Structure 1
């Protein structure tokens, strides 16, 4: 008999060892060293201040960002998920305390005569967490809260950047509409003059036909430009939880030419490590590992203490209620359930391994996105300078062509060609400015760890203060 018991115990130990939860700490440390070793070549002005959007020096934009951070529906939804995670964590922590409550019982047994018994009092049980099952559940709850907080911070970042991006796109679309309208007015004036010249026989009909062609080409662009303007306004209105028709915006000509900073090289690594998506993936891994530890603890004996304090009345044994108190230790060991528990542990280990893969994938994707953003920033900077030079050249060419045509040195077709080139240069210049502004914003979005963490901390403080 003793030999059999020893074999059972040894077999249990071996099975428990086979169900060990993988240790991910060495791989986590390696990933942190990888992030710390990266170089991104970002060496412009520092933009790690929390309210970086104030660099645009636009009060209207500042108000929109402030409203979005408080009223955006996605942000409000994440607040409820954080609230849920807090409640779940509180429930897990309370499991460490004795559980129970007031109980009342009545029993009647008919054995050649009715025998009655009743009791009322306080019954409680307390699980002694010797092998860390309850503590592992608390760890899982804390990690789950960290997941919710990182998701909230990620949404806060997306909303903040989204407001600025939509605002830039709205202003670019507004300026595009204004450019097209100005070109149409100028071409209409030119057409009137050309129509008179054709009537007087000074200019051929071909000149008038070319003028009509260029005019209609510009008119055809206007509906699409207006649609882009409204779409940008609609996106912005959704972010600030407002109806597009009720959202009133004033022109903001300076935002496309504003120079805002991007993270300095020495802070880029810190910003990457503090990214919400990376932090959330790591917290998800910690949660799944903790759940695995809780399952593994079920392989060990469970110890608990049960007690009762109250009044009892047993017919034929007593004349009334008598005070009573009991306390009894209890041990349970799910030996026969080992195959089921082991499979559950193995299943959870697979979940944890998948979480690590997702964590690693998040890092790789974040690094790739950051490098693309830095590359795009450099190319947008070059394009912005090139289109600026092209615009100046086209403007000068059109001015010279206008003077020469007025003096009769060139024909009207040459003037139209110069005008068409100038119109195209205007559009290219506006597009390049938007691309450069969007590239700056893209770098800030990718290297968001520092500012988003601080902005999130302030948001939570404001939320606690309001509650």
Structure 2
């Protein structure tokens, strides 16, 4: 039997360490007092699942549905958001390469020619050669920009992991919702068929004078109540397909699904199995994204501070002057080496304001990072509580269905023996019908709660989906 233990607690030491390190990511953050924040996170206790898996991080395969496995594989290959995230990651890596290249001398071939006349005297001049400019990173501006680019590339990588987790959990959710709605549709159609048969029997009894028209009208009302549910179910089924189509990168008409009547029931006993569930939350991509955003903003703050100091560079030229004609002497060779210092003193107020603005952005990124951790903790705890309550709801719904069906059978037997009027039998049937529909809803809710738990603890398995 599936068990969920909310009494076994694991301290979030990983999150505390992450927050402590975040307070030291730059000189601006080093002086921030994070004692209260660290105390808050250290006091958070986490429930963990009893069932652990050390071999298979692809949890959806435990449901033994070839159809679901195929849908997940197709989504990971064809999802447009994942493709865009891959391109953004590639662009971030290319931008990192550009920033790293700024460490080295820049320049290239140069060539120019001019012809001018002064007081009737015509002069020609030309030069050709190679020019370079090497900016010395004495105050760390280039290093800070490289660190910002590195953080941006790591952020893009984590966004791929986050999207992969959303795609997989979204596909599983839509798939099981579709299966549940198909089961509800099957039950409704069975009830409609049973009510139509009852109406035929009742009408014959009315014609013979053994039943009243009231019984027929009440049955017709119940019949149309069930028929009114059909458009809602059909709409929900199409919405499930449309959602799957977005994940699969196709159209709803191209999504082919097959119904398995026992798929929900046989998978409700499957426990939520996670690799190192105690660490799965601290490795959530959302936390890593927020951390790298903090690192990026802190590095940009360092670069803005470095911009307050002089730019020191060395420029040079080597080539030929006036390479015109066929007689080139050694005097035509030329080279130059020019140290340069450029200090925008008059721009100091503007640069200082820019540095302060970037410092504020860095502080905001720290607040976002802390808030992300809080949100992830809340989401994970909510998922655990929701799964526990959904399991309890499912158990009660099954008991309700059992007793409602027993009452319906007893009412049917009493009616056939003439001990109960038909309206009481109809009421018992309605109770059984409502209980059956509530049982299906409880099954769907329990399955979706389990999927939400996998999503809340996606820090481990999401990293195996994209390389």
Provide TM-score, normalisation by structure 2. Answer: 0.87
**CA distance in 2 between partners of 1:78 and 1:240 (Å):** 15
Please name the residue that 1:421 is paired with. 431
State the partner residue of 2:348. Answer: 338
Aligned positions of 1:253-272 closer than 5 A: 253-257=261-265, 258=267, 259-262=269-272, 267-272=276-281
Contact between 2:128 and 2:323, CA under 8 Å: does it hold in 1? Answer: no
The residue that corresponds to 2:313 in the other structure is 304
Partner of 1:224: 232
Q: Report the equivalent of 1:326.
A: 336
Residue range with higher mean Cα deviation, 195-204 or 135-144: 195-204
Contact 2:199–2:219 under 8 Å retained in 1: yes
Q: Quick check: 1:116–1:315 contact (8 Å CA) kept in 2?
A: no
- 1:284 corresponds, among 268, 287, 293, to 293
The residue correspondences of 1:427-446 to structure 2 (distance < 5 A) are: 427-446=437-456
3-state SS, counterpart of residue 260 of structure 2: coil
Task: Report the CA distance between 1:268 and its aligned residue.
Answer: 3.9
Aligned to 2:322: 313
- Does the alignment pair 1:101 with 2:111? no
- What residue is the counterpart of 1:76 in the other structure? 83
CA distance in 2, matches of 1:241, 1:40: 37
**1:103 Cα offset (Å):** 0.6
SS of residue matched to 2:228: helix
**What is the CA deviation profile of residues 347-397 of structure 1, one whole-angstrom value per residue up to 9, with x for unaligned ones?**
100111111111111111211122221211111111010001111111222
Q: 1:224 to 1:263 in 2, by over 3 A?
A: same
Matched, 1:348 2:354: no
Structure 2 SS opposite 1:50? coil
- The answer to which of 132-141 and 235-244 deviates more is 235-244
Alignment coverage as a number of residue pairs? 436
Is it true that 1:43 corresponds to 2:53 in the alignment?
A: no
Q: Name the CA shift for 1:311/1:287 in 2 (closer, same or farther; >3 Å).
A: same
- CA distance in 2 between counterparts of 1:180 and 1:437 reads 21
Change (3 A) 1:66 1:25: farther
Contact map agreement 1:115 1:315 (CA 8 A) in 2 = no
Displacement after TM superposition at 1:38 (Å):
3.1
Provide the aligned C-alpha RMSD in A.
2.4
Per the alignment, residue 135 of structure 1 pairs with 143
1:292-338: per-residue Cα shift (whole Å, max 9, x none)?
1111112223222212122212889x866833332232222233322
Question: Could you report, residue by residue, the CA deviation over 1:268-299 in whole angstroms, capped at 9, with x for unpaired residues?
Answer: 44112111111111111110110111111122
Structure 1 stretch displaced more, 186-195 or 46-55? 46-55
Aligned equivalents of 1:32, 1:60: Cα separation in 2:
45
CA offsets per residue over residues 238-265 of structure 1, 9 Å max, x none?
A: 211121112111113344231343366x
Q: Deviations over 1:149-187 (max 9, x none)?
A: 222221111111111111111111111111100000011
Name which of 224, 243, 265 aligns with 2:251.
Answer: 243
Contact 1:292 1:345 in 2 (8 A): yes
Aligned equivalent of 2:458: 448
State how 1:453-464 maps to structure 2 within 5 Å: 453-455=463-465, 459-460=466-467
Contact 1:183 1:218 in 2 (8 A): yes
> Is 1:92 aligned to residue 99 of structure 2?
yes
The 5-angstrom pairing of residues 53-68 of structure 1 reads 53-68=60-75
SS at match of 1:327: strand
- 3-state SS of paired residue (1:401): helix
Give the whole-Å Cα distance in 1 for the aligned partners of 2:182 and 2:276: 36
Mapped contact 1:36–1:269 kept (Cα < 8 A): no
Q: Which runs of 4+ in 1 moved over 4 A?
A: 24-37, 318-321
Check whether the contact 1:40–1:268 (CA below 8 A) recurs between aligned residues.
no
Q: How does 1:136-155 map to 2 (within 5 A)?
A: 136-155=144-163
Aligned partner of 1:396 in structure 2 is: 406
* Structure 2: gaps (5+ residues): 1-25
Q: Is the 8 A contact 2:171 2:244 kept in 1?
A: yes
1:181 counterpart = 2:189: yes
Note if contact 1:271-1:449 (Cα within 8 Å) is conserved in structure 2: yes
